[in-house]
Chains A and B, each alone.
Chain A
Amino acid sequence: MAIRRANMKGKPFCLAVLLLGLAGLSPALAASDTATPDPRDLIRAAMEHWRGITSYSEMTMVIHRSDWERSFSMQAWTEGDKLSLVRVTEPKRDAGNGTLVKDQSMWTFSPKINRILKVPSSMMNQSWMGSDFSNKDISKSTDIIDQYDHRLLKAVREDDHFLYTIESIPHEEAAVVWGKEIVVIRDDYVMLRQEFWDQDDILVKVMQATELAQMDGRIIASRMRMQKIETPGEWTEMAVDAIDFDIDIAPSLFTLSNLRNPRQ
């Protein structure tokens, strides 16, 4: 498949989920300059734009620690907000490691042990491939729309865009540990920043779009950094090197057999 290289800026969040939240679409925004948008609709819109959209991207993930750093190259396919497949291509010793997300279930494949493992609930809070993203960050998708109460904190005009800051407080029964999340969405539905606050109103971690780029006709957050506040020297960065939207994806792509034996 043809891949258009990005000029420079760009990287999405992790998988479909993250891509979902972070990449925006330029259309559909005309109206927002005038009226104050409903915050829930804003978040929904940011996510809905992805529904039914397919993508193929090449990404680089850098895991930075105070005394070491490693980077992975990977390929990712997504379809809507429910399906995604990521496969590591570099470095060699991790090549072939894959993750498949289908609805809320998640499987990983490691060629070294030649086994597919379904990630059990007990491991959902553990780190994904050693990064600052948890498995849950990777597999969760649109929960934020319905399981939170949203409130628009402020709308600021910056250059040509409005930036909406939305405070999202999870419902009592939501499977969310955070006290609140604060999301900054641009009026073209690019999610610029997502903050995770604990229940004592202390900021725990931040996902920040550090670069935006136009890729394959859409503006996306092409470089995102996930950082835990308590450990300033440690972060994980995801950069989109190239992305194609609206590609044809064979139905067999998001299957366990394809996770084990790549055919695309």
Chain B
Amino acid sequence: MQGFRLHFVMLLRLSWRNLWRNHRRTYIMLGAISVGVWAMIFMTALMRGMVDDMLNQGIHNLPGHIQIQHPAFLDDPSVVNSIAEPEGELLAALNQPGVKRWATRIKVPAVIASERESRGINLLGVEAEAEADITGLPAQVSEGRFLESNQDQGVVIGAKLAQRLETRLGKRVVVMSQDPDNNISERGFRVVGIYRAEMPGLEEYNVYAARDTLQKLLRIEGRVSQIVIVDQDYRDIESLYRRIEKVTPSTLEIKPWYEIDNYLAAMFNMMDGFVLVWVIIIFLALSFGLVNTLVMAVFERVREIGLIQALGMRPRLIVYQILLESLLLLLIGLAIGNGLAIITVKPLESGLDISMVAEGMAMMGASSMLYPNLTLHDMLLANSVVIILGILTSILPAWRAAHLDPVRALNST
């Protein structure tokens, strides 16, 4: 033990000094590693931010992390496929701590008409207060106000829809739909608010009214289309899902967000793999420089290595020495790279306006503001990839150095 410690300290000192013998080369290599690591972490943070944003918006549009509905509702979202408002065990489970927010909502196809136009819409009967946590819509209301209570008599429509209908804030529109018996149900609503959605398609399609008002209009008192549950974090809903699934009556269907929208789920799952591939690609570019540096370092020191071998140093220790030199180089590079990444990402976390280069991003479901998301997990991944693969690529020059023939090495010029 004592011997190993002694060896290690000696090797460390040797490696450290060797590193700075040709300090210009070392600085260049450090620069390469730092920039590489910075790019890994910075770009990953940007991508994470973009994907998080898409997922958040996607989940807001679903909406919610977990939905309970009539088994036929997802295929046929008609007023017939409604469910009773939650009660008993289910209600108790929903009110437990851990559920960030839950709400019932009505969702039916409908037609909205102004004096001049009529259009097909998706009519949503929502609980006014819960909506901020569930879809974040109230924040998007650009004119007027959002619904104020579950009995509110107004509707909130999108700016695009208002334009199509040639109507505006404060005017009345007529909403028509059908009750469960296929009779026409309709009434006038005053437009109390106009919202602007990140995705223009939604603006034209989603119309918000108060839940109780719609129950009366559609003649489905006490019934709703969906129960929407929001957990603390969409990434981790398993335990809550299982708890609520247990108390959900078997006549209802309960689904987590990743089963409702496979595209979102695929995006979520793909992201980790994507980050790994990105990190490895950058590393590959980096590794050529690293190997070259080490090979040069060994090549310059052939005589020296031959000498210390002749003096009795074991080949294994030479391998260790070269690897240690590589490790020191990597660690310094990583430290600088991580530092750079943190310094550049942190100021951007309040949002980066990419609307100039990102027209059409909305179609992908991303907004024009990018919020980079620096996660510990991604930083650890980048660092461990660089260290592990860095050491692995250093083995070859180290091994070659260790296997020099001392006699020939000493005689080489």
**Which residues of A come within 8 Å of B, CB atoms?**
104-105, 118, 120-122, 124-126, 170-179, 196, 198-199, 204
Contacts and interface: CB of A to CB of B under 8 A. Distances in A.
A173 B188 contact: yes
Interface in B119-172: 120, 153, 167, 171-172
Contacts of B189: 173
A179 B114 CA distance: 10
B188 A170 contact: yes
Interface string B357-394: 00000000000000000000000000000000000000
B183 A177 contact: no
Contacts of A204: 115-116
Nearest to B175: A175
B245 interface: no
12 contacts: A118-B182, A122-B176, A125-B113, A172-B172, A173-B189, A174-B187, A175-B174, A175-B187, A177-B114, A177-B173, A178-B115, A199-B115
A141 to B, nearest CB: 13
A104 B183 contact: yes
B403 interface: no
A118 B115 CA distance: 24
Contacts of A170: 172, 188
Given A121-B176, A174-B188, 9 more contacts: A105-B184, A120-B178, A121-B177, A125-B111, A125-B118, A170-B188, A172-B190, A173-B153, A175-B174
A222 to B, nearest CB: 29
Given A105-B183, A122-B111, A199-B172, A172 B118 contact: no
B349 interface: no
Contacts of B174: 175-177
B178 A177 contact: no
Nearest to A204: B115
B198 interface: no
Interface in B341-355: none
Nearest to A125: B118
A120 B183 CA distance: 9
Contacts of B253: none
A198 B184 contact: no
Nearest to A123: B111
Interface string B176-201: 11100011111111100000000000
A175 B115 contact: no
Nearest to B173: A177
Contacts of A179: 115, 172
Nearest to B213: A173
Interface string B69-90: 0000000000000000000000
A175 B112 CA distance: 11
Contacts of A104: 183-184
Contacts of A121: 110-111, 176-178, 184-186
Contacts of A199: 115, 167, 171-172
Contacts of A174: 187-188
Q: For chain B, which range describes its interface: under 10, 10 to 19, 20 to 34, or 35 or more residues?
A: 20 to 34
Contacts of A126: 118
Given A177-B172, A199-B171, A172 B188 contact: yes
Contacts of A178: 115
A174 B174 CA distance: 8
Contacts of A177: 113-115, 172-174, 188
The 7 lowest CB-CB distance pairs between A and B, nearest first, are A175-B186, A125-B118, A198-B115, A121-B176, A121-B184, A122-B111, A199-B171
Contacts of B190: 172
A124 B183 CA distance: 12
Contacts of A172: 153, 172, 188, 190
A156 to B, nearest CB: 28
Q: Tell which of A104, A118, A170, A172 has the most Cβ of chain B within 10 Å.
A: A172
Q: Tell which of B174, B182, B183, B189 has the most Cβ of chain A within 10 Å.
A: B174
Q: Tell which of B110, B185, B187 has the most Cβ of chain A within 10 Å.
A: B187
Given A121-B111, A122-B120, A125-B111, A176 B188 contact: yes
Q: Tell which of A120, A124, A175 has the most Cβ of chain B within 10 Å.
A: A175
Contacts of B183: 104-105
A175 B173 contact: no
A196 B113 CA distance: 15
Nearest to B184: A121
A174 to B, nearest CB: 5
Contacts of A122: 109-111, 120, 176
Nearest to B154: A172
A112 to B, nearest CB: 25
Contacts of B167: 199
A104 B178 CA distance: 12
B153 A198 contact: no
Contacts of B120: 122
A57 B189 CA distance: 38
Contacts of B176: 121-122, 124-125, 175
Nearest to B171: A199
A222 B66 CA distance: 62
Nearest to B120: A122
Contacts of A105: 183-184
A258 to B, nearest CB: 21
A229 B182 CA distance: 34
Q: Tell which of A124, A171, A178 has the most Cβ of chain B within 10 Å.
A: A124
Contact of B188 (A120, A124, A125, A175): A175
Nearest to B117: A125
Contacts of B187: 173-175
A48 to B, nearest CB: 24
Nearest to B179: A121
Contacts of B115: 177-179, 196, 198-199, 204
A146 to B, nearest CB: 13
A179 B172 CA distance: 8
A2 B120 CA distance: 46
A125 B111 CA distance: 9
B155 to A, nearest CB: 12
A124 B176 CA distance: 9
A124 B184 contact: yes
